Amino acid sequence: MSASIGSTVSHNMRIAFCCTNTKAAPWIAGLSAALPGADIHEWQPGAPQADHAVVWAPPQQFLDEQPQIKGIFNIGAGVDALLKLRLPPQAVLVRIDDGGMAVQMAEFVCHAITRHVRELDVIEIAARRSEWAFRKPRRREEFPVGVMGLGVLGSLVANAVKQFDYPVMGWSRTPRELPGVQCFAGEDQFDNFLQATRILVCLLPLTSETRDIINARTLSKLMPGAYVINVARGAHVVDEDLIAALDSGHVAGAALDVFRTEPLPAEHPFWHHPKITVTPHTSARTLRDESIAQIAGKIQALERGEPVAGVVDLQRGY
Ligand code: NAP
Ligand code: GLV
């Protein structure tokens, strides 16, 4: 990574670092190297007003104490947790725009699809019993993949899945065009998208429109023997509805990386359901060096009055 952006910033620029569950020291060291001259500190209650903030799930008190902040840089792609808080009205909220997450997500989703379609899960279990569990080849045309959300992550995932010759569809809020991907948009085309989908991948942001979107009705529209891969947010899925669809056999399995409560509580039925694979919110991790380089570049651009990518539309919610 080249975190050092080269140019210097105003000597009195202050940047507050306020990230829950994140070690501050390496971030502050990296940001300091990338923004020579900036005063970068871990926020403590009562700290002086900063110009910009680097955050992950900050407390409301932090935002209340920063009424003049210009830029708030979230160290993840999803801003749903931040949008539950009161933000200073003039602040620009910026999310991580790929930063190495899209390729991880593509790798993770392709792995989940391969594991299911090639029945590697069944083979693994049999191998533990020393059984030679040879499986019949399955036709990939029978496993059309539908990606909900064709943004930074979803579009790379759709393109990656396409390389394995699955039929690929995508669904977004506004019409998109991706070569080789059949694109659907808006509520009007949602059911057509679902009916043509056997492997459903969720890469939507969590908003009032997308909360609970994987529910009894939408699951029932999927092709029989469906498979659900949720790598976006836990609250996209109505947990009881997914379990009912799995138990009825309409849905054959699910790979879940995100949950309503994280870590997933020990007593949650997802842990022991034989058709569910649980992973600990790890499909696309924030990469520190890439994120520092991106955030530092954007702080400098904002200071020069230039536009930056990844600004969140507060009305839309992503
Ligand atoms: P993004 O670039 O903002 O893309 C969002 C996509 O969702 C866009 O295509 C958007 O449509 C579509 N969308 C939004 N609301 C919709 C609606 N009501 N109906 C249909 N489509 C809708 O987001 P991203 O960077 O790809 O990230 C997606 C999400 O992944 C994040 O918000 C985060 O929650 C999650 N995530 C999870 C992990 C993990 O480790 N599990 C890591 C990173 C991110 P338009 O194209 O029309 O705007
Ligand atoms: C992780 O879930 C992110 O939103 O970046």
Catalytic-residue membership of 233: yes
Domain architecture of the chain: domains with CATH: 14-99+286-303 (3.40.50.720), 101-278 (3.40.50.720)
The CA 180 to ligand 2 mean position distance, Å, reads 27
The CA 210 to ligand 1 mean position distance, Å, reads 10
pLDDT digit string (tens) for the chain, length 318 residues:
333 444 445 458 999 999 999 999 999 999 999 999 999 999 999 999 999 999 999 999 999 999 999 999 999 999 999 999 999 999 999 999 999 999 999 999 999 999 999 999 999 999 999 999 999 999 999 999 999 999 999 999 999 999 999 999 999 999 999 999 999 999 999 999 999 999 999 999 999 999 999 999 999 999 999 999 999 999 999 999 999 999 999 999 999 999 999 999 999 999 999 999 999 999 999 999 999 999 999 999 999 999 999 999 999 999
41, 118, 140, 281: the active-site residue: 281
77/242 Cα distance (integer angstroms): 25
φ, ψ for residue 272 (rounded to 5)? -110, 5
171/146 Cα distance (integer angstroms): 7
Burial grade of 17 (CB within 10 A; 0-12, 13-18, 19 or more): buried
pTM of the model: 0.96
Pocket test residue of 74, 83, 101, 172 for ligand 1, highest count of atoms within 8 A of CB:
172
Pocket of ligand 2 (CB under 6 A): 76-78, 286
Catalytic-residue membership of 217: no
236/240 Cα distance (integer angstroms): 12
Max distance between CA atoms of the chain, in angstroms, equals 67
The ligand that comes nearest to the alpha carbon of residue 148 is 1
The ligand that comes nearest to the alpha carbon of residue 257 is 1
For residue 74, the ligand 2 atom closest to its alpha carbon is: 5
Pocket test residue of 286, 290, 295, 312 for ligand 2, highest count of atoms within 8 A of CB:
286
